[in-house]
């Protein structure tokens, strides 16, 4: 198996872990699965660095490991595990629907990516398809899920998809860009976790539909 196949195969695992995060019943389990997904993302960065000679991607991998594999999952796990015993909200997506949505996102992304000429990343087009599908899957999670905590994880999935796209197409960007992306994710997760906690204390619900009472 050549380098491109390894990178593309690792990227494909991101879709699998996304479905697992979306379908996780307990927030703490979703946080751990997100950490696992981020570890796969770090592996993709390291593989890209090794097979393309883009040494700056090693720094990306190191930064992503510290923030996405350790720090962000730890924040999510510590903040959200208190909600593990809360009654689960009705979910519009069953596991089969999540898999179908992931497949649809991959098909749409493939149609888009195949129309684009990418001289510097032609061998990694499958990984780019996955990164775009990953973004759309996270966006779909935000839009369709009623559980506010699921929407937080939807944002995390979108961010990972965007991060992979950036690594594939703009890995020569200054290291400051990578650090900015990583720190942005940390602060966004902290803010959203705090807001979710305050909503639970005020409204006594994690159902986004219940927030409609705030209108008017």
Region of residue 204 (phi > 0: left; psi between -120 and 50: alpha; otherwise: beta): left
| Rounded CA separation 100/81 (Å) | 29
Please report the pLDDT score of residue 93 as a whole number: 61
Please report the pLDDT score of residue 105 as a whole number: 85
- Pair 129, 113: CB distance under 8 Å: yes
Please report the pLDDT score of residue 31 as a whole number: 92
Q: Which residue has the tokens 């369709």?
A: 144
CA 44 vs. chain centroid, Å, equals 14
**Residue from 61, 39, 40 nearest 50 by CA:** 61
pLDDT by residue for the chain (216 residues), tens only, comes to 578 889 999 999 999 999 889 888 888 899 999 999 999 999 999 998 888 888 888 888 998 899 999 999 999 898 888 887 766 655 656 667 778 878 888 888 888 888 887 766 678 888 999 999 988 888 888 888 888 888 899 999 998 998 898 888 877 766 666 677 777 778 888 888 888 888 888 877 777 777 765 555
In our burial notation (b when 16+ CB lie closer than 10 A, e otherwise), range 160-197 reads bbbbbbbbbeebeeeeeebeebbeebeeebeebbeebb
Please report the pLDDT score of residue 176 as a whole number: 65
SS3 at position 65:
helix
| Rounded CA separation 184/71 (Å) | 13
**Residue from 40, 157, 166 nearest 98 by CA:** 157
Please report the pLDDT score of residue 41 as a whole number: 94
């Amino acid at each position: 198996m050549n380098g491109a196949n390894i990178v593309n195969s690792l990227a494909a695992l991101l879709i699998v872990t996304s479905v697992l995060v979306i379908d996780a019943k307990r927030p703490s389990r979703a946080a751990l699965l997100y950490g696992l997904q981020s570890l796969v993302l770090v592996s993709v960065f390291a593989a890209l660095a090794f097979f393309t000679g883009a040494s700056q991607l090693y720094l990306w991998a190191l930064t992503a490991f510290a923030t996405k594999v350790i720090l962000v999952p730890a924040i999510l796990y510590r903040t959200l595990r208190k909600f593990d015993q809360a009654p689960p909200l009705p979910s519009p997506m069953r596991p089969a629907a999540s898999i179908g949505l992931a497949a649809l996102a991959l098909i749409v992304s493939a149609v888009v990516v195949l129309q684009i000429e990418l001289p510097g990343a032609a061998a990694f087009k499958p990984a780019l398809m996955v990164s775009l599908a990953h973004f759309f899957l996270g966006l779909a999670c935000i839009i369709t899920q009623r559980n506010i905590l699921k929407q937080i994880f939807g944002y995390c999935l979108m961010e990972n998809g965007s991060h992979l796209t950036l690594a594939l197409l703009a890995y020569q960007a200054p290291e400051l860009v990578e650090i900015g992306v990583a720190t942005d994710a940390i602060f966004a997760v902290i803010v959203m976790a705090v807001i979710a906690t305050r909503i639970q204390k005020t409204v006594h619900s994690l159902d986004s539909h219940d927030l409609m009472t705030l209108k008017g």
